[in-house]
Structure 1
Amino acid sequence: MAVLSCSITELPIELEKEIFDWAVAINDVDQPIETAKSLSLVCKRVKSWMDRVIYGHVFLDTETIFSKFLFTFRARDKEFFRLHVRSLGIHYTSEHVFRDTAEIIEACSNIHSLWWLSGKPKKDDWPDFIKSHPRLQMISLLHHDLTTALAFEPSYHSWRQTVRILDLSAKDVHKLDFKVFPNLIIVSLFSHDYLSYNDSEETFSSILLLGVLANVPLLECLILGVDPSDVPVSSDSPVESDVWIVEVRSELSFIKGIHDPRLVVMPMLTFSLWKEDVMGVHSYWDRALSMVQKQREPTSSPAGLQSSEHHIRVVASDLGTVKRD
């Protein structure tokens, strides 16, 4: 019997790529990048395929990692990062790297998801980056002064059309006109001190939440992201369990009059949870939407929902009641 032999150079390129993609995919979730780096040594063509794995999700969360990436960033053409980076997480902040950070964000103009922990840049240092990000769908802005600029500056118009998920500090909600985000489906508001809030707050109150529920046309979910370490509860149930969430929600006095099923209480989004989401390991947002679906079930109080819907109509008819800077 004749023996058939075939070297990899005789395989169709599409099949070659499929083989290498599978070699990366079958590894543990923490290992694909290391596997891709090893496979990239096979040949130039394989390296071009592996670059999409190595640079598809960029996570910069320490000074060392940031410095190493910055070295690579300076050595390569900016077009490389436009083509390869799909998710960019910047969780390291320092005043002396703000300009570098802005330059990195601007170059990665095809990203779908951005997590940005920033310092406190002066207004003159606001980067003109968002206008060139036509595919940005999720953005998380932590602890910096760019929120207002990103919402109102005319040159930042295009990203508003694509963003579907916006995660920001609850203390910034009064600054935004959410109607400028026509395709938002999820708004996530995080805070470390929700327990101290009440309806006398100027920057955060139930009327502001009702305003968001009323004025974001495609909104499917409004998340109050709670820091579990700042919420003393008596339950021994695991964080994010139904029992834990019910108990935490009962402690938040400022939302007791809101019964809209789209309002959910969850542990706040963290950098680790964001990384899991963009890598397809666990979806924080799917969890939130499933909670909304559960709250829409017939066990919900019809009277409560009707009451909330009435409040929303009132807010929608009088936008002046929503405080904005």
Structure 2
Amino acid sequence: MIKKNKLIFMMILSISMIFLAACGGSSNSEEASTNNKADKNVIKIGYQKGNTLNILKENKLLEEALESEGYKIEWKMFVHGGALLEGLYSGAIDFGHAADGSAIFAQASGKPLVYVGADAPNPEGVGLMVLKESGITSIAELKGKKIGVLKGGNHHYLAILALESAGLTADDVQWVYPEDAAQGRAIFETKQVDALASYDPFFASVETELDVLTLTEGENYNYPNRTFYFATPDFYENHLDLVKEILATIDESDKWANENKGEVAKLISQALGIDEAVITKQVERRTFGASGITQEIIDAQQRQADKYFEVDLIPAKLDVSKDMPMK
């Protein structure tokens, strides 16, 4: 009798364990499903210090626009455009903002990306400078000198165009490539290079805090200096309406920025811990705005890619339009 009762108890225990295991599996499956669903509702956006996406992050307009649709925004900061685009290829972000030169390098190496929009021209946001104490007063005097640039950056392109306008070529100077804008300033300030090309807000910082002469002041060399918005091919193909909504919100944020430049300078200064005078200089000299891709924008990007091939910055000729849909 005892053996029979023990056998019945063991059978009940086994059935209970199977039932509990099944319930546990169902719970884990539901939890995983919930997590996957939550991940799909998170949009990962990459930005750089002081750019339009940085402004959008601080004013929260995108969160307000997408909250009713169940989306959350995850912001990730990158030190420069090349690093941001690496984040795009790796899937760390879905959408981001980087300069024209970074995109050309990415396309030249076959990286997957889609240009989905562009900023308004900002030729004032890049420049080529020398220390006043150097005695250099013209671009022509840079022949044989050392120029610091981030390789292939928008300011690198500006410097090449400036040299050509003075009858020089890219081979007439020695290029020095720092790892980032901060190191570029350091080698310039310590006179390891004779000139520095840079981009805002770092360009504005050097102009504000050091005694410099900007050799490219007032010149744009037919270079619009547009930065671009990018998406992964998957995000673009599967969420085109969302991409358009993000761009529309960026443009709304940009219009707000144009009308509230003092507030923008204060907002970005506090967010980044950069002197407000520096951010004010950057903000005051540009017009904000975002648009889709047009033929004019493609043509300007193509000229830049052709120049990069001409001066051996990229290994082969490139058709930029293949990743620049006009929609």
TM-score tier (shorter): under 0.3
Which structure: greater helix fraction? Answer: 2
In the superposition, the TM-score normalised over structure 2's length comes to 0.23
- Which of the pair has the greater relative contact order for Cα pairs under 8 Å at 6+ separation? 2
TM-score by length of 1: 0.23
